[in-house]
Structure 1
């Protein structure tokens, strides 16, 4: 079994990342194991959120139209709970209450997931 789940973007999420990168430059995601919006993926200008030993880099997401990848970090404790899933970053209407870059757009990033089957492991 792979040590990290595969992270994907919906086209809606990729489109929003392209727009956000025009204003903010290179981007990154971090998903903590906190409650409320802490369990949602938060998008920051790359380097503005400091990762540490309690975080795992799950994937460097490639987004068509962006020169740089978008790293997706997750807290180790959250990863332990979700290591058997495929994570899908999507966008829904409504503002989250966090500091994620998309908040002023009236939308928020959201994680959808599905179990990884034996062929994908």
Structure 2
């Protein structure tokens, strides 16, 4: 469910509802907008923060980031990430790669 909500919010950002640097509405307002509870919304926002689409600041809110110029953004822009499973697969792959890279860097 959180991944589906992440896709909804990502689509809103892509459509220009919020611009880079803008603060997203408070959690309660976002929950109403996407019709979910706070825990699902937080899961979605964490997913978006993980891929660099938003930045969460404790006690301050969540902000839309400048679009990175990486492959993930190109995939989003070209519609290659169409389902919540696509996003989950990309996030899982990234975690595997980054964990391995961190291990190599520590050697």
TM range, smaller chain? under 0.3
The two structures have a TM-score, normalised by structure 2, of 0.25
Which structure is higher in helix share? 2
Which structure is higher in strand share? 1
